[in-house]
Structure 1
């Protein structure tokens, strides 16, 4: 124990320093943790931590808490109310990306079958996007409440549901016989049933009794997480899946936000150790590894536009929403590192494949910070190219054909303030509604304005056209 504490201290100091540097450079802090791990580890660093296993054991707590909080953020009611558009995108994106990935990585020389499943793992890695990066960058840009922002978050929630399925089936990837897959699914369903039944008939009563003591609410939630994680391990599933179900089972409780706020510091500390432990295992990259990482990055970006863009276009979301949503999700998820770590633990893949996905994730994370910050500028360039090729967007054509009427009141963008103004006018002076013109590039907003009998046209004030 005495030898572990100094190593944890060194690891935390290194993570703090590199995290600060990466934050100053406006890059994902997770990358700073990976770099810190590499610098203090025995592979390519200064060997300040000689045995990463010491930190790895403790860091697994962070992994469990991460999955628990992801579960807390799952809201089945929201998914059911999202409509067919989001359901098609959430299902189609993952399935199509995995199928395209299987073909792509086989062409690159990765085997599929014969006891080798690297292709399957790579396809799964590339199908998942980063909730942490997308939410942070969209929040900083005040775009979480835009249509592309909401669809991006919806697809990420669906990916969390796919993660449950991955965790349920992952132990049997090497031997995917029908009865083993059915057994794994049965165990997953059993774990779900136990979690939700206990939450409904026992936890609600317990939480009602301790609601006046916030500390007890948090302690009980963590105990619940530990119980489900242990139960998952006991029945042959992963502890991570048990933690995910534990969070999802109490996501609808009114205490969810409070629990999340209190557990976040614990999660962040242990999760920092998790990413540090991964960084310690990274070997020095060779030319072949970097080349393959770049190919994976190109595939991830292309796959988003091959899967998300056409589905949203066909469902009537419009060119801008389809493009920006695809661009927002063009990165590899930190959850892919969880799947990779478990894959190494199960003996399914080599450490070298995990290192490859770390390099690819690092590159996509850096690129995403620029993609999301400049998503509208990138879209305008894309739109101009298509327009010059003779493919103007439907909304732009409709706007060009509008009669040039005179409107004394013009609102540029239908944000919260503009919506409040329209609602106030509707209450106090409804006759003025016909004198209002709203310009916005959100097609969902235009439909809402039509229902309010307010004139809305498609437009973007960032475009001089």
Structure 2
């Protein structure tokens, strides 16, 4: 069968299986690999030459690294923070060392053990971001830390690919002079790309920015140019593509190039994983069962434990540590890329490739549910997580006095509320479990308590029975329900004002004892419509038509919450 038909059938099978997988909340990559397995020589034999398909598919990996480099702007690297760097580097080191020890103890040769250890260290950025986005947790503390750790892992994966690319085919001998020369070549290529980007490409993109077609074409051409030059001087084309992306990361058109190029990248990345699945050999698969089980359990359980230990050292609460750790409970697309590179260099055989692919499929499948049900897992495991708990720091410049206002959360809204009240001479105390935010509050002179709202000792510090009111901007409904349950047990419960992300969540807060709820999306929409109504045609200013829409139910909840909030506020006044 010709290559066009092989690729075409691979794309069709990948689309079908990825769609079926989405119905049970599985990542698309699993469907791509399974499509390759079914079409490969082991099952139906449609893809008879996986290497030929794999050659085409490497364009996708090249574009993947180009886009990763394109997103590595100075601002993004600056905003990662110490915790992400410490946790990311620490996790890779600990996972790598322990993984190496496990592989050697299972009888794998040193070179194969090194590749296995490296593959186990990287977690899937795609899965973590996709599920956190669905759960609206990207802006949460554990979401921000997780993204930072994943960026660090991506950078270290690039370093791993760079180092592995320095070894010759069939050789694993470390020659300092070879690697020193390779480093100088890489620095020279990066410097040349940066200078050309600043003085030539920026001017070119500015002139052609009005044409999306030319903008994307020239960006991809730049990617290929640097990749080809990189290959000529001894790098892999993927590393050259990464350097090309980094060189364009700070131009004004980087975001547009990234968004437009993703479609092309995704097409070729799909072919890569189909080809990977087709190349898997299932002979003597029974010999891989024990290593598969051991390594999978290490990734699913060991990685979260490693992250939790690091987060404990960094003074973060156990809940943040666990939820961050669950996002690392799988291995990454980069793991497969590293293994594919090792196989192409002759360092490892298809048995190791198959083992890592099975671990990837297994951990991605299970971790998808672990991340989705992270809060439920935390509540179930909480009694057993005491070794990871951090001794809470006590209040800073806060002395209990009747009539104070307690604010939960020092995010954008919480900070503005706290500073506004302090300017009016009102006594406030703010509770937050983000160590960096706690230091910010100390610097700004805001009375504060560092601790988790799910820790009753933290709540006991706040003298809530004597508080004038409680204001919460907490992003997680479960946190607020815990606080409301605590407040219901007090002899004198203060009025409680909270924000909610949906009408349904707001109604749940009322049922749990909140007095006033602001549904943020609803209030924001009302203000925007009120501001824009003068620009609407007169015929559209009457009452809305009685048309049923899919989102009406939550809007009805939000309106009801707004009405009973107004009534309750009158009672409090």
Instruction: Give the TM-score, by structure 1 length.
Output: 0.88
In structure 1, C-alpha distance between the alignment counterparts of 2:270 and 2:81, rounded to whole Å: 37
Give distance in 1, aligned partners of 2:285 and 2:205: 54
Q: Give distance in 2, aligned partners of 1:392 and 1:165.
A: 34
Instruction: Report what 1:383 is aligned to.
Output: 382
Q: CA deviation at 1:67?
A: 0.9
Q: Secondary structure at the match of 2:359?
A: helix
Written as runs of structure 1 = structure 2, the 5 A alignment for 1:1-400 is 3-43=2-42, 45-112=43-110, 117-171=111-165, 172=167, 174-284=172-282, 286-305=285-304, 307-387=306-386, 393-395=390-392, 398=394
Indicate conservation of the 8 Å contact 1:442/1:458, yes or no.
no
Distance in 1 between residues matched to 2:372 and 2:31, nearest whole Å: 20
**Paired residue secondary structure (1:25):** coil
* 2: CA distance, partners of 1:426 / 1:306: 38
Offset of residue 426 of structure 1: 4.4
Pair 1:233–1:433, CA change in 2 (3 A): farther
SS of residue in 2 equivalent to 1:17: helix
For structure 1, list consecutive stretches of 5 or more residues without a partner in the other structure: none
Task: Please say if residues 233 and 239 of structure 1, whose CA atoms lie closer than 8 Å, have aligned partners that are also in contact.
Answer: yes
1:302: Cα distance to partner?
4.5
Query: Which range moved further: 358-367 or 91-100?
Result: 91-100
2:563 aligned partner:
none
Q: Give the stretch that moved more between structures: 239-248 or 67-76.
A: 67-76
Distance 1:306 1:196, change over 3 A: farther
Query: After superposition, what is the alpha-carbon deviation per residue over 1:415-461, rounded to whole angstroms, capped at 9, x for unaligned?
Result: 66x44xx52674599427535x6665544455555637365663142
Q: The residue matched to 1:244 in structure 2 has which SS?
A: helix
- What is the alpha-carbon distance in structure 2 between the residues aligned to residue 328 and residue 433 of structure 1? 40
Matches of 1:20 and 1:294, distance apart in 2? 27
Q: What is the rounded CA distance, in whole Å, between the counterparts of 1:317 and 1:392 in structure 2? A: 8
Using the size of structure 2 for normalisation, the TM-score is 0.72
How far apart are residue 91 of structure 1 and its match?
2.3
Q: Is 131-140 or 2-11 further displaced after alignment? A: 2-11
1:378 deviates by 2.3
Contact 2:317–2:389 at 8 Å: present in 1 too?
Answer: no
Aligned to 2:416: 423
Question: Which is further off, 263-272 or 365-374?
Answer: 365-374
Are residues 376 and 441 of structure 1, via their aligned partners in 2, closer, same or farther at CA, if it must alter by over 3 Å?
Answer: farther
Q: Give the secondary-structure state (helix, strand or coil) at the position aligned to 2:427.
A: helix
- Structure 2 stretches lacking a partner, 5+ long: 455-478, 487-573
Aligned 8 A contact 1:344 1:350 in 2? yes
**CA distance in 2 between partners of 1:205 and 1:433 (Å):** 54
Cα pair distance change 1:379/1:443, threshold 3 Å? farther
Aligned equivalents of 1:429, 1:190: Cα separation in 2: 54
In structure 2, relative to structure 1, the CA distance for the partners of 1:233 and 1:407 (3 Å cut) is farther
RMSD, aligned CA: 2.8
Residue pair 1:426, 1:433 contacting (<8 A) in 2 also:
no
Deviation at 1:104, TM superposition (A): 2.0
CA contact (8 A) 1:434 1:453 kept: no
Q: Partner of 2:458 in structure 1?
A: none
Instruction: Give the whole-Å Cα distance in 2 for the aligned partners of 1:403 and 1:287.
Output: 65
Q: 1:434 aligns with which of 423, 427, 448?
A: 427
The structural deviation recorded for 1:251 is 1.1
Q: Deviations over 1:176-195 (max 9, x none)?
A: 12222222323322222222
Note the alpha carbon deviations across 1:28-70, whole angstroms, 9 max, x for none: 1100111111111111x22233332342222111111111111
Mapped to 2, the partners of 1:297 and 1:405 lie a distance apart of 53
Larger Rg: 2
Q: From the superposition, tell whether residues 424 and 363 of structure 1 become closer, same or farther in structure 2 (CA, over 3 Å).
A: same
Which string of whole-angstrom CA distances, capped at 9 and with x for unpartnered residues, describes residues 302-349 of structure 1? 542454333332222333322322221121110111111111111111
What is the number of residues matched between the two proteins? 450
